[in-house]
Amino acid sequence: MSCLRRLRHQLLATHVLCIVYSYLDELFEKTASSTSCYWSRREQEKINDNIEQDEVSQTLYKRPNLFRDMGLFNSRRMRLQRSSSKFIANRWSDCGCESCVAWINSGDDLRLHVVVHEPELIEKSVIFPYRLNSFHLVAHSMGSIIALALAAKYPQHVKSITLIAPPYFPSDNKQDASLYTLGKVAEKRLWPPLLFGSSFMSWYEHLGRTVCFILCRNHKIWEFLLRLITWRRDLHFTIMDLTRHTHHSAWHTMHNVICGGSKYIEEYLSILRDAKVKFTIIQGDEDQVVPIECSSNIKMKVPEADVRIIPKTNHSTILLRHTKEFTRDLESIWISCR
Protein backbone atom coordinates (compact mmCIF):
# COMPACT_ATOMS: atom_id res chain seq x y z
CA MET A 1 0.00 0.00 0.00
CA SER A 2 2.85 2.41 0.82
CA CYS A 3 4.46 1.78 -2.58
CA LEU A 4 1.16 2.54 -4.31
CA ARG A 5 0.84 5.75 -2.29
CA ARG A 6 4.36 6.85 -3.30
CA LEU A 7 3.57 6.11 -6.93
CA ARG A 8 0.43 8.26 -6.78
CA HIS A 9 2.40 11.11 -5.22
CA GLN A 10 5.06 10.89 -7.96
CA LEU A 11 2.45 10.89 -10.72
CA LEU A 12 0.64 13.83 -9.18
CA ALA A 13 3.89 15.76 -8.71
CA THR A 14 4.99 15.26 -12.30
CA HIS A 15 1.65 16.56 -13.62
CA VAL A 16 1.68 19.56 -11.31
CA LEU A 17 5.22 20.33 -12.52
CA CYS A 18 4.02 19.93 -16.11
CA ILE A 19 1.64 22.86 -15.57
CA VAL A 20 4.26 24.86 -13.67
CA TYR A 21 6.85 24.45 -16.45
CA SER A 22 4.20 25.32 -19.02
CA TYR A 23 3.75 28.78 -17.52
CA LEU A 24 7.46 29.27 -16.79
CA ASP A 25 8.44 28.34 -20.36
CA GLU A 26 5.90 30.80 -21.72
CA LEU A 27 7.17 33.48 -19.32
CA PHE A 28 10.92 33.09 -19.95
CA GLU A 29 10.98 31.84 -23.55
CA LYS A 30 7.71 33.12 -25.00
CA THR A 31 6.97 29.61 -26.14
CA ALA A 32 4.64 26.84 -25.05
CA SER A 33 5.63 23.98 -22.82
CA SER A 34 4.84 21.60 -25.65
CA THR A 35 8.47 22.17 -26.66
CA SER A 36 9.64 20.54 -23.45
CA CYS A 37 6.91 18.01 -22.68
CA TYR A 38 7.41 14.93 -24.83
CA TRP A 39 4.00 13.54 -23.92
CA SER A 40 2.33 16.14 -26.13
CA ARG A 41 4.69 16.77 -29.02
CA ARG A 42 5.38 13.67 -31.08
CA GLU A 43 4.68 15.40 -34.39
CA GLN A 44 6.40 18.63 -33.34
CA GLU A 45 9.57 16.76 -32.31
CA LYS A 46 9.77 15.11 -35.71
CA ILE A 47 9.38 18.46 -37.49
CA ASN A 48 11.71 20.59 -35.37
CA ASP A 49 14.51 18.07 -34.87
CA ASN A 50 14.23 16.52 -38.33
CA ILE A 51 13.88 13.06 -36.78
CA GLU A 52 12.38 10.22 -38.76
CA GLN A 53 9.88 8.03 -36.97
CA ASP A 54 12.20 5.02 -36.75
CA GLU A 55 14.93 7.20 -35.21
CA VAL A 56 12.83 7.97 -32.14
CA SER A 57 12.34 5.57 -29.27
CA GLN A 58 8.78 4.63 -28.38
CA THR A 59 9.65 5.29 -24.75
CA LEU A 60 10.10 8.98 -25.50
CA TYR A 61 6.34 9.38 -25.94
CA LYS A 62 4.63 6.14 -24.96
CA ARG A 63 5.65 5.39 -21.38
CA PRO A 64 2.64 3.91 -19.54
CA ASN A 65 1.05 6.59 -17.35
CA LEU A 66 -2.18 6.48 -15.37
CA PHE A 67 -3.15 10.17 -15.55
CA ARG A 68 -2.32 10.51 -19.24
CA ASP A 69 -4.37 7.42 -20.09
CA MET A 70 -7.29 8.96 -18.18
CA GLY A 71 -7.02 12.05 -20.40
CA LEU A 72 -6.26 14.53 -17.63
CA PHE A 73 -4.56 17.83 -18.59
CA ASN A 74 -5.09 17.10 -22.31
CA SER A 75 -6.96 20.33 -22.98
CA ARG A 76 -4.06 22.33 -21.52
CA ARG A 77 -1.55 20.55 -23.74
CA MET A 78 -3.68 20.94 -26.87
CA ARG A 79 -3.89 24.71 -26.32
CA LEU A 80 -0.16 25.02 -25.72
CA GLN A 81 0.70 22.91 -28.72
CA ARG A 82 -1.17 25.27 -31.02
CA SER A 83 0.45 28.36 -29.55
CA SER A 84 4.05 27.82 -30.65
CA SER A 85 6.32 25.50 -32.57
CA LYS A 86 9.61 27.25 -31.79
CA PHE A 87 12.53 25.01 -30.89
CA ILE A 88 14.71 26.20 -27.98
CA ALA A 89 18.26 24.84 -28.07
CA ASN A 90 19.24 25.84 -24.54
CA ARG A 91 16.39 26.25 -22.10
CA TRP A 92 16.10 28.81 -19.31
CA SER A 93 16.36 25.93 -16.81
CA ASP A 94 19.73 24.85 -18.25
CA CYS A 95 23.15 26.29 -17.48
CA GLY A 96 24.41 28.82 -20.01
CA CYS A 97 28.15 28.65 -19.30
CA GLU A 98 30.64 28.14 -22.13
CA SER A 99 31.18 24.42 -21.56
CA CYS A 100 27.44 23.68 -21.40
CA VAL A 101 26.50 25.52 -24.61
CA ALA A 102 29.57 24.58 -26.69
CA TRP A 103 27.50 22.03 -28.63
CA ILE A 104 25.27 24.82 -29.97
CA ASN A 105 28.25 26.40 -31.76
CA SER A 106 29.52 23.11 -33.18
CA GLY A 107 27.32 23.29 -36.28
CA ASP A 108 23.83 23.90 -37.57
CA ASP A 109 22.44 20.59 -36.26
CA LEU A 110 21.00 21.32 -32.82
CA ARG A 111 20.20 17.69 -32.11
CA LEU A 112 22.06 16.92 -28.90
CA HIS A 113 21.38 13.19 -28.84
CA VAL A 114 22.90 10.52 -31.07
CA VAL A 115 20.91 8.85 -33.83
CA VAL A 116 22.05 5.33 -33.09
CA HIS A 117 21.68 3.57 -36.42
CA GLU A 118 23.34 6.40 -38.36
CA PRO A 119 26.43 7.50 -36.34
CA GLU A 120 27.34 10.43 -38.60
CA LEU A 121 29.01 12.50 -35.88
CA ILE A 122 31.61 9.80 -35.23
CA GLU A 123 32.28 9.46 -38.93
CA LYS A 124 32.71 13.20 -39.43
CA SER A 125 34.88 13.73 -36.35
CA VAL A 126 37.08 10.62 -36.41
CA ILE A 127 36.82 8.22 -39.35
CA PHE A 128 36.77 10.66 -42.28
CA PRO A 129 39.30 13.26 -41.03
CA TYR A 130 41.90 10.59 -40.13
CA ARG A 131 41.07 8.38 -43.13
CA LEU A 132 40.83 5.25 -41.02
CA ASN A 133 40.89 2.05 -43.02
CA SER A 134 40.88 -0.21 -39.97
CA PHE A 135 40.26 0.33 -36.29
CA HIS A 136 39.43 -1.26 -32.95
CA LEU A 137 36.34 -0.26 -30.99
CA VAL A 138 36.07 -0.13 -27.20
CA ALA A 139 32.87 0.99 -25.46
CA HIS A 140 31.31 0.97 -22.02
CA SER A 141 27.64 0.59 -21.11
CA MET A 142 25.47 2.87 -23.28
CA GLY A 143 28.41 3.49 -25.61
CA SER A 144 28.26 -0.19 -26.57
CA ILE A 145 25.09 0.45 -28.58
CA ILE A 146 26.75 3.26 -30.54
CA ALA A 147 29.88 1.13 -31.05
CA LEU A 148 27.79 -1.75 -32.42
CA ALA A 149 26.04 0.63 -34.83
CA LEU A 150 29.38 1.94 -36.09
CA ALA A 151 30.89 -1.54 -36.35
CA ALA A 152 27.87 -2.86 -38.25
CA LYS A 153 28.27 -0.04 -40.77
CA TYR A 154 31.97 -0.83 -41.28
CA PRO A 155 32.23 -4.59 -40.57
CA GLN A 156 35.15 -5.08 -42.97
CA HIS A 157 37.17 -2.31 -41.31
CA VAL A 158 36.68 -3.29 -37.66
CA LYS A 159 39.53 -5.43 -36.32
CA SER A 160 37.96 -6.01 -32.92
CA ILE A 161 35.16 -4.75 -30.72
CA THR A 162 35.39 -4.80 -26.93
CA LEU A 163 32.23 -4.05 -24.98
CA ILE A 164 32.18 -3.43 -21.23
CA ALA A 165 28.81 -4.08 -19.56
CA PRO A 166 26.75 -3.80 -22.76
CA PRO A 167 22.96 -3.44 -22.22
CA TYR A 168 21.41 -6.06 -24.51
CA PHE A 169 17.92 -7.38 -23.82
CA PRO A 170 16.60 -9.42 -26.77
CA SER A 171 12.90 -9.01 -27.45
CA ASP A 172 10.61 -11.10 -29.65
CA ASN A 173 8.80 -7.99 -30.85
CA LYS A 174 10.98 -5.27 -32.41
CA GLN A 175 8.24 -2.68 -31.90
CA ASP A 176 8.21 -3.29 -28.14
CA ALA A 177 12.00 -3.62 -27.76
CA SER A 178 12.50 -0.06 -26.51
CA LEU A 179 9.78 -0.34 -23.86
CA TYR A 180 11.11 -3.73 -22.78
CA THR A 181 14.64 -2.31 -22.44
CA LEU A 182 13.37 0.67 -20.43
CA GLY A 183 11.74 -1.70 -17.98
CA LYS A 184 15.02 -3.58 -17.59
CA VAL A 185 17.58 -0.77 -17.29
CA ALA A 186 15.31 1.65 -15.41
CA GLU A 187 13.21 -0.67 -13.31
CA LYS A 188 11.18 1.23 -10.72
CA ARG A 189 13.17 0.39 -7.60
CA LEU A 190 14.24 2.36 -4.55
CA TRP A 191 17.46 0.40 -4.07
CA PRO A 192 20.30 0.48 -5.04
CA PRO A 193 20.58 4.29 -5.35
CA LEU A 194 22.02 4.14 -8.87
CA LEU A 195 19.02 2.20 -10.16
CA PHE A 196 16.63 4.51 -8.31
CA GLY A 197 18.29 7.49 -9.99
CA SER A 198 18.02 5.86 -13.43
CA SER A 199 14.35 5.03 -13.02
CA PHE A 200 13.53 8.45 -11.54
CA MET A 201 15.21 10.33 -14.39
CA SER A 202 13.81 8.02 -17.09
CA TRP A 203 10.16 7.71 -16.14
CA TYR A 204 9.29 11.13 -14.72
CA GLU A 205 10.14 13.83 -17.23
CA HIS A 206 9.33 16.93 -15.22
CA LEU A 207 10.71 15.60 -11.95
CA GLY A 208 13.93 14.85 -13.85
CA ARG A 209 13.96 18.36 -15.28
CA THR A 210 13.66 19.72 -11.73
CA VAL A 211 16.67 17.68 -10.63
CA CYS A 212 18.67 18.99 -13.59
CA PHE A 213 17.55 22.53 -12.77
CA ILE A 214 18.82 22.23 -9.18
CA LEU A 215 22.03 20.27 -9.83
CA CYS A 216 23.10 20.95 -13.41
CA ARG A 217 22.07 24.57 -13.87
CA ASN A 218 24.02 25.41 -10.72
CA HIS A 219 26.92 23.02 -11.31
CA LYS A 220 29.53 25.74 -10.72
CA ILE A 221 28.18 26.31 -7.22
CA TRP A 222 28.22 22.58 -6.42
CA GLU A 223 31.75 22.23 -7.81
CA PHE A 224 32.92 25.15 -5.67
CA LEU A 225 31.35 23.66 -2.54
CA LEU A 226 32.85 20.24 -3.23
CA ARG A 227 36.31 21.76 -3.69
CA LEU A 228 35.83 23.66 -0.45
CA ILE A 229 34.73 20.57 1.48
CA THR A 230 37.29 18.14 0.05
CA TRP A 231 40.17 20.64 -0.22
CA ARG A 232 40.81 19.33 -3.73
CA ARG A 233 41.37 21.66 -6.65
CA ASP A 234 40.72 18.98 -9.27
CA LEU A 235 37.49 17.06 -8.84
CA HIS A 236 37.00 13.58 -10.28
CA PHE A 237 35.86 13.70 -13.91
CA THR A 238 32.75 11.62 -13.14
CA ILE A 239 31.48 14.34 -10.81
CA MET A 240 32.20 17.05 -13.36
CA ASP A 241 30.46 15.17 -16.17
CA LEU A 242 27.43 14.28 -14.06
CA THR A 243 26.63 17.89 -13.19
CA ARG A 244 27.10 19.25 -16.72
CA HIS A 245 24.13 17.50 -18.29
CA THR A 246 21.18 19.39 -19.65
CA HIS A 247 17.81 17.74 -19.17
CA HIS A 248 17.39 17.57 -22.94
CA SER A 249 20.61 15.58 -23.37
CA ALA A 250 20.02 13.31 -20.37
CA TRP A 251 16.47 12.52 -21.50
CA HIS A 252 17.43 11.72 -25.09
CA THR A 253 20.48 9.75 -23.98
CA MET A 254 18.33 7.26 -22.12
CA HIS A 255 15.36 7.09 -24.47
CA ASN A 256 16.88 7.47 -27.93
CA VAL A 257 20.24 5.76 -27.40
CA ILE A 258 19.69 2.99 -24.86
CA CYS A 259 16.00 2.28 -25.44
CA GLY A 260 15.71 3.38 -29.06
CA GLY A 261 18.90 1.60 -30.07
CA SER A 262 17.78 -1.70 -28.58
CA LYS A 263 15.61 -2.54 -31.57
CA TYR A 264 18.66 -2.52 -33.86
CA ILE A 265 21.13 -4.53 -31.75
CA GLU A 266 19.90 -7.89 -33.05
CA GLU A 267 20.66 -6.79 -36.61
CA TYR A 268 24.06 -5.34 -35.66
CA LEU A 269 25.15 -8.55 -33.93
CA SER A 270 24.12 -10.65 -36.92
CA ILE A 271 26.17 -8.49 -39.30
CA LEU A 272 29.27 -8.62 -37.09
CA ARG A 273 28.91 -12.35 -36.46
CA ASP A 274 28.75 -13.06 -40.20
CA ALA A 275 31.76 -10.76 -40.76
CA LYS A 276 33.68 -12.76 -38.10
CA VAL A 277 34.67 -9.63 -36.16
CA LYS A 278 36.59 -10.46 -32.98
CA PHE A 279 34.20 -9.96 -30.05
CA THR A 280 35.15 -9.50 -26.39
CA ILE A 281 32.63 -8.86 -23.62
CA ILE A 282 33.83 -7.74 -20.17
CA GLN A 283 31.57 -7.28 -17.17
CA GLY A 284 31.80 -7.17 -13.38
CA ASP A 285 30.04 -9.83 -11.35
CA GLU A 286 28.61 -7.17 -9.01
CA ASP A 287 27.13 -4.98 -11.75
CA GLN A 288 23.77 -3.64 -10.52
CA VAL A 289 23.09 -1.41 -13.51
CA VAL A 290 23.39 -3.87 -16.39
CA PRO A 291 22.55 -7.48 -15.46
CA ILE A 292 25.16 -10.14 -16.24
CA GLU A 293 22.53 -11.86 -18.37
CA CYS A 294 23.24 -9.20 -21.03
CA SER A 295 26.71 -10.67 -21.62
CA SER A 296 25.19 -14.13 -21.85
CA ASN A 297 22.61 -12.85 -24.33
CA ILE A 298 25.36 -11.60 -26.64
CA LYS A 299 27.22 -14.89 -26.26
CA MET A 300 24.11 -16.73 -27.43
CA LYS A 301 23.84 -14.46 -30.46
CA VAL A 302 27.59 -14.48 -31.19
CA PRO A 303 28.94 -17.87 -30.01
CA GLU A 304 32.54 -16.89 -30.88
CA ALA A 305 32.43 -13.96 -28.44
CA ASP A 306 34.93 -14.09 -25.57
CA VAL A 307 33.01 -13.29 -22.37
CA ARG A 308 35.06 -12.33 -19.30
CA ILE A 309 33.36 -11.86 -15.92
CA ILE A 310 35.59 -9.93 -13.52
CA PRO A 311 35.09 -10.78 -9.82
CA LYS A 312 34.37 -8.15 -7.18
CA THR A 313 33.73 -5.33 -9.65
CA ASN A 314 30.61 -3.37 -10.54
CA HIS A 315 29.48 -1.12 -13.37
CA SER A 316 32.02 1.61 -12.62
CA THR A 317 34.89 -0.01 -10.75
CA ILE A 318 35.51 -2.43 -13.60
CA LEU A 319 37.20 0.54 -15.31
CA LEU A 320 38.05 3.01 -12.56
CA ARG A 321 39.80 0.59 -10.18
CA HIS A 322 41.35 -1.81 -12.66
CA THR A 323 42.83 0.56 -15.20
CA LYS A 324 46.17 -1.22 -15.61
CA GLU A 325 44.63 -4.68 -15.88
CA PHE A 326 42.08 -3.42 -18.38
CA THR A 327 44.81 -1.77 -20.47
CA ARG A 328 46.79 -5.01 -20.57
CA ASP A 329 43.69 -6.91 -21.65
CA LEU A 330 43.09 -4.47 -24.49
CA GLU A 331 46.70 -4.72 -25.64
CA SER A 332 46.51 -8.51 -25.75
CA ILE A 333 43.24 -8.39 -27.70
CA TRP A 334 44.67 -5.98 -30.27
CA ILE A 335 47.91 -7.95 -30.64
CA SER A 336 45.94 -11.14 -31.33
CA CYS A 337 44.21 -9.41 -34.25
CA ARG A 338 47.40 -8.73 -36.17
Closest by alpha carbon to 264, among 114, 162, 160?
A: 114
- Mean pLDDT value across the chain: 77
| 8 Å CB contact between 235 and 223 | yes
Q: Is the pLDDT of residue 120 over 70?
A: yes
Read off the pLDDT of residues 306-321 as tens digits, 9 standing for 90 and up.
Answer: 999 999 999 989 988 8
| 8 Å CB contact between 254 and 186 | yes
Q: Among 82-96, 181-195, 245-259, which stretch is predicted with the lowest mean pLDDT?
A: 82-96
- Structural domain includes residue 330: yes
Measured at the CA of 88, the angle between CA 223 and CA 210, to 5 degrees, comes to 45
- Structural domain includes residue 23: no
Read off the pLDDT of residues 31-69 as tens digits, 9 standing for 90 and up.
Answer: 654 444 655 554 444 444 444 444 556 565 555 544 344
Range of the domain at 231: 98-336
Check residues 66 and 98 and name the one with the higher pLDDT: 98
| 8 Å CB contact between 290 and 141 | yes
Cα–Cα distance, 256 to 112 (Å, whole number) = 11
- Structural domain includes residue 235: yes
Instruction: Give the number of C-alpha atoms closer than 13 A to the C-alpha of residue 261, restricted to the C-beta side.
Output: 30
- Structural domain includes residue 36: no
What pLDDT does residue 134 have? 92
In one-letter notation, the amino acid at residue 112 is L
- Structural domain includes residue 80: no
In one-letter notation, the amino acid at residue 71 is G
Looking at residue 177, which CATH number applies to its domain?
3.40.50.1820
| 8 Å CB contact between 198 and 189 | no
- Structural domain includes residue 15: no
- Structural domain includes residue 63: no
Number of structural domains in the chain: 1
**Which strands, in side-by-side order, build the sheet including 278-284?**
135-140, 158-164, 278-284, 306-310
- Structural domain includes residue 73: no
